[in-house]
Amino acid sequence: MTPDPVRVLAAGDHFVLPSLIADAVRQEHPADVRQVRLGWPLEPFGAVAEVSEASDAEDELIEALGDGREVLVTQMGPVTARVLAAAPALRLVVVCRGGPVNVNLDAAKSREVRVCYAPGRNAAATAEFTVGLMLAALRRIPQAHIPLAGHGSWEGAAYYTYDRAGLELEDLPVGLVGYGAVGSRVARVLGAFGARVLVHDPYVRGEIHGLRVDSLDELLRRSRVVSLHARLTTETRGLLGARELALLPEGAVVVNAARGPLLDEDALCAALASGRVAAAALDTYAREPLPPDSPLYGFADRVVLTPHLGGASRAVAEKAARIAAAEVGRWARGEPLAHCLT
């Protein structure tokens, strides 16, 4: 006998498309899927009511859930107390990202709504992007590209002089702060380049690709490049500040494609101005979008800046939809959920 279709709202966006979610869900279980497309990333996310990092679309979600949807699959939908109160039939929320920061977990729990997420969906993409940022900063690729592509100037050839030439990864000591799904992949790639990989992560046990360093201070003293891969917590906010950056060797390079608040941007700018840090490559920032008055813009000749693109690959969107759909299928069949917080 064919099981009854589950009533799903696929509230996708311009990255995790509603159609990707709908197709993946239907492959897992018979489903009546309603599709809604939210504005991200063409419209910025931010705090919405009591949740963070969400699209400003409470009214849109309430309207779309109002016909008795049992399941919501979304990436940026604001699952606030107001939204949950307006959707009494809702029983499962699946967020297509590494954590449900756009969900009021207390309100969901009080209404017996299960909340799942999609860990690991962007680990490979972010690791690859991190290494790309590292190479771009070390070899001055954007700074050489812009004058040549923009107005046909060969001035970037000045980076072939000894004083301005970049560093290569082979034999370079590269310190990784954090060794989770992204950091461990970066370590393996850097090993293939021949870099001397140093790792600091007090929460990881067992074998690693590189040399384990017990203290962050020691890692910083020994690293010509430092790359951040830690989770953002109360303890790790501002992990690299003025004191820590002062421990780096003169002319070091800082890379952050993890979370912006891990790094004190004012301290980084001071270190760039003093020459303690020769270059930096950043994909995430304390405030996003990066404000137009950010002092980071004053170091365009030594800083690579990208607008939080580390996880922007088509494979990530497809993986996120599949991971979310698998949770919907488990829930519909009455099986244990794999990545559930409530």
Whichever domain contains 141, its CATH number is 3.40.50.720
| Distance in angstroms (rounded) separating the CA atoms of residues 332 and 28 | 9
Q: Do the domain assignments include residue 191? A: yes
The answer to whether residues 88 and 237 belong to one domain is no
Q: How many CA atoms are closer than 13 Å to the CA of 86, on its beta-carbon side? A: 16
pLDDT tens-digit series, residues 59-95: 999 999 999 999 999 999 999 999 999 999 999 999 9
Q: Do the domain assignments include residue 258? A: yes
Beta bridge partners of 9: 34, 72
The answer to whether residues 160 and 297 belong to one domain is yes
Q: Do the domain assignments include residue 341? A: no
Q: Do the domain assignments include residue 169? A: yes
The answer to whether residues 105 and 151 belong to one domain is no
pLDDT tens-digit series, residues 216-231: 999 999 999 999 999 9
The answer to whether residues 117 and 127 belong to one domain is no
| Distance in angstroms (rounded) separating the CA atoms of residues 190 and 203 | 21
Query: 195: how many CB neighbours lie within 10 A of its CB?
Result: 23
| Active-site residue identified among 259, 322, 330, 339 | 259
Would you call 288 a catalytic residue per the annotation? yes
Q: At residue 342, does pLDDT exceed 90?
A: no
Would you call 151 a catalytic residue per the annotation? no
Burial class (CB in 10 A: 0-12, 13-18, 19+), 90: buried
At residue 183 the predicted structure's pLDDT band, cuts being 50, 70 and 90, is very high
Q: Do the domain assignments include residue 342? A: no
Would you call 308 a catalytic residue per the annotation? yes
| Active-site residue identified among 43, 128, 288, 318 | 288
Backbone φ and ψ of 212, nearest 5°: -75, 135
The answer to whether residues 113 and 150 belong to one domain is no
Q: DSSP label at 260?
A: G
Q: Please count the structural domains in the chain.
A: 2
The parent domain of residue 266 ranges over 123-305
Q: Do the domain assignments include residue 263? A: yes
The answer to whether residues 137 and 257 belong to one domain is yes
The confidence score (pLDDT) of residue 335 equals 97
At residue 4 the predicted structure's pLDDT band, cuts being 50, 70 and 90, is confident
The confidence score (pLDDT) of residue 247 equals 98
The confidence score (pLDDT) of residue 316 equals 98
Q: Do the domain assignments include residue 54? A: yes
Global pTM value: 0.93
pLDDT tens-digit series, residues 106-158: 999 999 999 999 999 999 999 999 999 999 999 999 999 999 999 999 999 99
> Distances in Å between the alpha carbon of 241 and those of 153, 217, 261, 267?
37, 12, 10, 6
Q: At residue 1, does pLDDT exceed 80?
A: no
Q: What is the chain's length?
A: 342
Q: Do the domain assignments include residue 221? A: yes
User: Which residues lie below 8 Å from residue 61, measured CB to CB, with a gap of 6+?
Assistant: 9, 11, 36, 72, 74, 77, 78, 79, 83
Evaluate whether 329 touches 29 at the Cβ level (below 8 Å).
Answer: yes
Straight-line distance from the first to the last Cα atom of the chain, in angstroms, rounded to the nearest whole number: 31
The answer to whether residues 187 and 115 belong to one domain is no
Distance of alpha carbon 128 from the chain centroid: 12
| Active-site residue identified among 26, 34, 308, 318 | 308
The answer to whether residues 55 and 163 belong to one domain is no
Q: DSSP label at 156?
A: G
The answer to whether residues 173 and 267 belong to one domain is yes
The answer to whether residues 67 and 10 belong to one domain is yes
Provide the percentage of residues in the chain whose pLDDT is more than 90.
96
The answer to whether residues 227 and 246 belong to one domain is yes
What is the average pLDDT across 208-223?
Answer: 97
The answer to whether residues 150 and 293 belong to one domain is yes
**Average pLDDT, whole number, for the chain?**
96
| Distance in angstroms (rounded) separating the CA atoms of residues 246 and 41 | 36
Query: Which amino acid does the sequence have at 115?
Result: V
What is the average pLDDT across 224-247?
Answer: 97
Angle at 269 between CA 236 and CA 199, to 5 degrees: 40
pLDDT tens-digit series, residues 21-68: 999 999 999 999 999 999 999 998 999 999 989 999 999 999 999 999
User: Which residues lie below 8 Å from residue 147, measured CB to CB, with a gap of 6+?
Assistant: 153, 154, 155, 156
